[in-house]
Structure 1
Amino acid sequence: MTVLLDDIFESSPRIQATEVDEAADVLSRVFLPLTLRSADSEALDMSLQAEELPVLTAGYLHFGTAVHIRGDEVPAYFIEAPLTGMAINRWADGRLEKTAVGSAAVFTPGMAVDLNWSKDCREICIKITEDQMRRQLERMMDRPVRKRITFARGMDVGAQTASNWFGLVRLLAREAGRADGVLAHRLAVENLQQLLVQGFLLIQPHNYAEALAEDESSASATVVKRAIDAMHAHPENPWSTVDLARSTGVSARALQKAFQRAGQPPPMTYLRRLRLHEAHAELASQCPSTTTVTTVAGRWGFLHLSRFAEQYREMFGESPSETLRTSSPGVS
């Protein structure tokens, strides 16, 4: 995981602390209840830049010195991924595991935290509440989740699926707090949060992974039509495959298979193309002096501007900026 340290959460609020108790209080409010102890004679110089979204909290943290962190019980899912340095985790079974660049540690609610951070340790930390994790899994499985979701506690960030997931984390880190960024738009924020939580449930082993991967029953062509009608009626909604499946009364996997049998692209590909048409119509009708491509892309949920421009050109034969530049507001 390669991250430029001057390019992450740079627009998010920065909290600094030089007193151990003050730093522990801040981290207890933002991430999880803990006690903090400086592990050497150097002064603490904690810096935290974090973004608290409706579903999750993510931030960049370092202490400027070696520290020992302890918490009796994690109240939420917590992911710590070093960008530099390392952390030594002492798990409840007594096992010591090093988390360094290229790896991450995953804490499940109820676990104790016992961490030693090196002086040069700088991390991206992510918190997802237990309620949100359960809700997302229930939506994906379309049935209640009765037991606590328990994840494997180690994560190989170098694996392709995990690397792709951390690409979304990097996007959040880069865009967080920017008034002119894509996350200034509600649809983009909701899309990114869904991708992060549902993606984590798909890539990180847990006790429901096998059930989540089970094949589902077939769905009819009528279900495909209902899903397509719903997307056309409200393309601005933060649809996911799970949402569309629930609205048509089938599971997500059944809906995907029904789209395939009907000769349609996957539901999210269909929705992306529909939103590209909506973005094209908006760009063609707006004045270049009052509208930007970034604003229109974000409004329609496109998180990667370069990818949006590439897909747009492929569909319409010109760039979004060309459409906007030659637009004729008020002309039908």
Structure 2
Amino acid sequence: MTNCRIGCRVMSTKNHHFRDISADRYDLAGARSWMANICGPHNLKAARPERIQFHHSGNVLPSMSTTLGYVEYGTDVTIGVGDEFNLNCYSLSLPLAGEQELDKSGRRLLSDRDRGVIISPHENQELTIGGDCHKLQVAIPRAAMQKTLEELLQRAVDTPLCFQPEMDAVDGAAAAWWRMARHLTDELERSRDLYGQLFFTRDMESALIKGLILSQPNNYSAELRDRLEIKLPHYLVRARDFIHAHAREDLSLEDVERAAGISRFKLFEGFKKYFGQSPMAYLKKYRLTAVRQELLEDRCARNISVIAMAWGFNHLGRFASEYRKLFDETPSMTIQRLEARRGRSF
């Protein structure tokens, strides 16, 4: 079958255009061709290509051609980039339903409603998308990203910008960015009279790209912090590094105080200001995140207690409760979802 519907409505703003795009495709080549026009060349594979029910709807912003929208494939697919398939944009996606998994340098990263992924150009990687995955998709052209980075640094850059691929969608700066991206995507559909105006949308697009560069760790983050004076006090760097290095040990607040070399009051004040939580809450979240990552890599339910105890959780009932509070699922549910994915045929 060929495509059922393919459309593009254009809203003019003087000499610029606000493009509202949508497509339904029922063949692998058609789906790949449509997304190649948005993200650049890529490989697309499906074990059951006859089940493709691709749908994409979104908007292309007028100033720097950033595309925001929603996409789904209707069957399990794997997208490959790198080598002869080099994207011409940075592709970011966050599942609103279902899951996907990024395989990069032998490391697999699960992406669900709590964790998005960003695919940087110039790097070999594969993204496996579940047939039930409906996701928010943002594509930012390389040129737009480089231009914005150079504006922030106030100098030309030669080394490509590369992001850490995993993006937290629950807490912190990256989560705030995802909320901003989703709000903008939805408002582009609802408020055309406002968002169709170049002078307004241009600033929104610039803010979106700047927000990503500043919120998501990348190979320019240290220079940006120095340039923009977003620098942690030395005592917080000592405390943070100490927590990371000794998180598996039986740490106390006094241990962190000694490592930081400051009073408890100042330590709490600094953590609240820069991390939004107390030192011990920071430690707990760091441990829980580490346990989750090991579970995703280990994929064995019988090792849950072993991994948890190795990260300092001696009360397993309390650990399971805190894990569920942070990730909205129990550790065993994490494993079950992974086993369900492993049982699928790609």
Range of TM-score over shorter length: 0.5 to 0.7
| Other structure's SS at 1:205 match | coil
1:136 and 1:18, CA in 2 relative to 1: closer, same or farther beyond 3 A? same
| Other structure's SS at 2:67 match | strand
Q: Provide the residue aligned with 2:143 in structure 1.
A: 131
Which deviates more, 119-128 or 167-176?
167-176
| Other structure's SS at 1:145 match | coil
CA contact (8 A) 1:178 1:184 kept: no
Q: Provide the residue aligned with 1:13 in structure 2.
A: 21
The answer on 1:74 being equivalent to 2:87 is: yes
1:136 and 1:180, CA in 2 relative to 1: closer, same or farther beyond 3 A? closer
Q: CA deviation at 1:179?
A: 6.5
Q: Provide the residue aligned with 2:128 in structure 1.
A: 116
Q: CA deviation at 1:85?
A: 0.8
| Other structure's SS at 2:51 match | coil
Q: Provide the residue aligned with 1:51 in structure 2.
A: 59
For structure 1, list consecutive stretches of 5 or more residues without a partner in the other structure. 1-10, 218-332
* Distance in 2 separating the partners of 1:130 and 1:121: 26
Q: Provide the residue aligned with 1:214 in structure 2.
A: 226
The answer on 1:28 being equivalent to 2:36 is: yes
| Other structure's SS at 2:94 match | strand
1:35 and 1:199, CA in 2 relative to 1: closer, same or farther beyond 3 A? same
Amino acid at match of 1:62: E
Q: Provide the residue aligned with 1:64 in structure 2.
A: 74
Q: CA deviation at 1:177?
A: 4.8
Q: Provide the residue aligned with 2:301 in structure 1.
A: none
Which deviates more, 15-24 or 180-189?
180-189
Q: Provide the residue aligned with 2:217 in structure 1.
A: 205
Q: Provide the residue aligned with 1:192 in structure 2.
A: 204
Q: CA deviation at 1:14?
A: 1.9
The one-character-per-residue Cα deviations of 1:258-299 (angstroms, maximum 9, x if unpaired) are xxxxxxxxxxxxxxxxxxxxxxxxxxxxxxxxxxxxxxxxxx
| Other structure's SS at 1:90 match | strand
Count residues in correspondence. 206
1:182 and 1:113, CA in 2 relative to 1: closer, same or farther beyond 3 A? farther
What is the identity percentage for the equivalent residue pairs of Structure 1 and Structure 2? 22
1:216 and 1:80, CA in 2 relative to 1: closer, same or farther beyond 3 A? closer
The one-character-per-residue Cα deviations of 1:107-140 (angstroms, maximum 9, x if unpaired) are 1111124121111101111111222111111111
Q: Provide the residue aligned with 1:164 in structure 2.
A: 176
The answer on 1:88 being equivalent to 2:101 is: yes
Q: CA deviation at 1:42?
A: 6.0
Q: CA deviation at 1:208?
A: 1.2
* Distance in 1 separating the partners of 2:107 and 2:134: 23
Q: CA deviation at 1:216?
A: 6.8
* Distance in 2 separating the partners of 1:106 and 1:78: 6
| Other structure's SS at 2:140 match | strand
Task: Output the TM-score relative to the length of structure 2.
Answer: 0.56
Amino acid at match of 2:187: E
* Distance in 2 separating the partners of 1:191 and 1:32: 25
| Other structure's SS at 1:120 match | coil
For structure 2, list consecutive stretches of 5 or more residues without a partner in the other structure. 1-18, 230-346
CA contact (8 A) 2:100 2:127 kept: yes
* Distance in 2 separating the partners of 1:170 and 1:216: 27
CA contact (8 A) 1:65 1:120 kept: yes
1:208 and 1:59, CA in 2 relative to 1: closer, same or farther beyond 3 A? same
Which deviates more, 142-151 or 186-195?
142-151
Q: Provide the residue aligned with 1:183 in structure 2.
A: 195
* Distance in 2 separating the partners of 1:107 and 1:163: 17
Task: Output the TM-score relative to the length of structure 1.
Answer: 0.58
Q: CA deviation at 1:214?
A: 1.5
CA contact (8 A) 1:74 1:113 kept: no
| Other structure's SS at 2:158 match | coil
* Distance in 2 separating the partners of 1:194 and 1:87: 28
* Distance in 1 separating the partners of 2:57 and 2:31: 13
Amino acid at match of 2:45: R
Query: Which of 100, 106, 111 lines up with 2:118 in the alignment?
Result: 106
The one-character-per-residue Cα deviations of 1:235-268 (angstroms, maximum 9, x if unpaired) are xxxxxxxxxxxxxxxxxxxxxxxxxxxxxxxxxx
The one-character-per-residue Cα deviations of 1:205-225 (angstroms, maximum 9, x if unpaired) are 1111111111579xxxxxxxx
CA contact (8 A) 1:168 1:192 kept: no
Q: CA deviation at 1:157?
A: 1.1
* Distance in 1 separating the partners of 2:46 and 2:56: 16
Q: CA deviation at 1:13?
A: 2.8
CA RMSD between the two structures: 2.1
1:119 and 1:168, CA in 2 relative to 1: closer, same or farther beyond 3 A? same
